[in-house]
């Protein structure tokens, strides 16, 4: 998906023969990294998988925990960068 977005904007760069292939190559690791950043809080806040499969816990509870983790990280990063 990402390389197609880059290819559609190749008319907008100064040196498309060099910059478009670089952007396409960087789209994959950047997408991977952003996926990992999204998945880590989800994985660490999921309750016991056995309880989830048994239907004892509603999955929305785990996403609430994920949002708390993301909010905590965002607030701490903002505080960290505002002090520098």
Residue 47 DSSP code: -
pLDDT at 23 exceeding the cut of 80: yes
**Rounded to an integer, what distance in angstroms lies between the CA atom of residue 36 and that of residue 76?**
19
Render pLDDT for 28-80 as a digit per residue (tens, 0 to 9). Answer: 898 899 889 888 887 787 777 777 677 766 665 556 667 777 777 778 777 77
Distances (CA, A) of 59 to 5, 40, 65: 33, 16, 10
**Rounded to an integer, what distance in angstroms lies between the CA atom of residue 25 and that of residue 22?**
5
**Rounded to an integer, what distance in angstroms lies between the CA atom of residue 70 and that of residue 64?**
10
Render pLDDT for 1-22 as a digit per residue (tens, 0 to 9). Answer: 556 676 777 778 888 888 888 8
CB 28 within 8 Å of CB 45: no
């Amino acid at each position: 998906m990402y390389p197609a977005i880059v290819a559609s904007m190749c008319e907008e760069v100064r040196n498309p023969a060099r910059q478009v292939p670089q952007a396409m190559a960087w789209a994959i690791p950047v997408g991977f990294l952003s996926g990992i950043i999204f998945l880590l809080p989800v994985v660490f806040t999921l309750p016991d998988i056995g309880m989830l499969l048994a239907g004892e816990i509603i999955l929305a509870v785990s996403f609430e925990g994920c949002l708390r983790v993301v909010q905590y990280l965002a607030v701490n990063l903002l505080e960290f960068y505002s002090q520098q």
